[in-house]
Amino acid sequence: MIVTLKKQTPKTEINRLTGLFESRGLKIHFSEGDNYIVLGLVGDATQLSERDILANEWVSNVQRVGAPYKLANRMFHPDDTVVDVGGIKIGGHEKIAVIAGPCAVESEEAIIEAAKEVKEAGAELLRGGAYKPRTSPYSFQGLGYEGILDLAKAREITGLPVVTEIMSVDHLEEFAENVDLIQIGARNMQNFDLLKEVGKLKKPVLLKRGMSATIEEWIMAAEYIMASGNPNVIFCERGIRTFEKYTRNTLDLAVIPLLKEKTHLPVIIDPSHATGDWKLIEPVALAAIAAGADGLMIEVHPHPECALSDGAQSLKPAKFAELMKKARKVANAVGRDL
């Protein structure tokens, strides 16, 4: 249930109403904008009478929430959430953030080289997989904790906040200490124990869409993180599995406006995993910006022909720099910066 109060509601009355609702076993999500105060009631609100609540002179509206997700619901938080990742803002209506780097961390020297290249082209965050979920057990599985330390070293040298995927709750401590944006990959989108534990960290979380997940299932995964106390969630669309064989996955650009309508959380696009082909990354990335994406996550490798993971979908630094120039023009055309 959403209880909207008048902007001039006294603090004492807000506290009284909050106490009343909490006494009924409800959790309160408080949100305040320029012209409103919203109390989002999470729990069994069927016990409450809308008519009784509206009898309060300070209440302007009461609305029941039909969707199963509450904290992620835009009704609870009408303004866009802006997530701060190491000083880089993701979300809102102004800046589009770009995350770039190799699919996997292959060595300290390689990730530092990649970090310098993507920063020079304009990327604001560095990606790289330390723990790699691979379809085949014989494929490169990543450097593990060594890769985390390599990312931290690259951050120290370039100043770029780092993004990498967590695979298990066993690694929570090292991620809490060394990672700026914790990625939940497609295969773990519904690993609910992991979602709850990451939610307790309070660190920003990048939540990728599962390969066959519906939009509501994806939002509910975000709700697990938020219900554990972490509001700093960013959606990442990376394509879903369909019958199509010409691309690695099928990118669903419609999720950008849909998620922005139904939730207040930032949405970014991963055109690398969506297409699986470096030649398709540029047009898809530009289309995502035009559709309203808050950011891009792009795989860049200095020598993709030698990459240990996903070289075919990685841009060379020079091509990435070209993409950034075009992306700025599209961003400016839709009233944003990059």
Tokens coding 221 = 């995964």
Q: Assess whether pLDDT exceeds 90 at residue 97.
A: yes
Q: Exposure of 101 by Cβ count < 10 A (0-12 exposed, 13-18 middle, 19+ buried)?
A: buried
In the chain, what percentage of residues exceed pLDDT 70? Answer: 100
Q: Assess whether pLDDT exceeds 80 at residue 134.
A: no
End-to-end CA, the chain? 37
Q: Assess whether pLDDT exceeds 90 at residue 98.
A: yes
Q: Assess whether pLDDT exceeds 90 at residue 278.
A: yes
Domains annotated for the chain, with CATH where assigned, are 2-63 (3.30.70.1140), 83-333 (3.20.20.70)
- Alpha-carbon torsion angle 156, 162, 165, 168, nearest 10: 50
pLDDT of residue 29: 87
d(CA 65, CA 174): 38
pLDDT digits (tens, 9 = 90+) for 41-59: 988 888 899 999 999 999 9
pLDDT digits (tens, 9 = 90+) for 149-205: 999 999 999 999 999 999 999 999 999 999 999 999 999 999 999 999 999 998 999
> What is the rounded average pLDDT of the residues 6-28?
92
Tokens coding 208 = 């990728």
pLDDT of residue 139: 82
pLDDT of residue 133: 80
Angle, vertex CA 153, rays to CA 151 and CA 158, nearest 5: 95
Angle, vertex CA 271, rays to CA 285 and CA 329, nearest 5: 10
In the chain, what percentage of residues exceed pLDDT 90? Answer: 86
Instruction: Name every residue whose Cβ is closer than 8 Å to that of residue 108 and which is 6 or more positions away in sequence.
Output: 149, 150, 153, 154
Query: Model pTM?
Result: 0.92
pLDDT of residue 233: 98
Mean pLDDT of the chain, nearest integer: 94
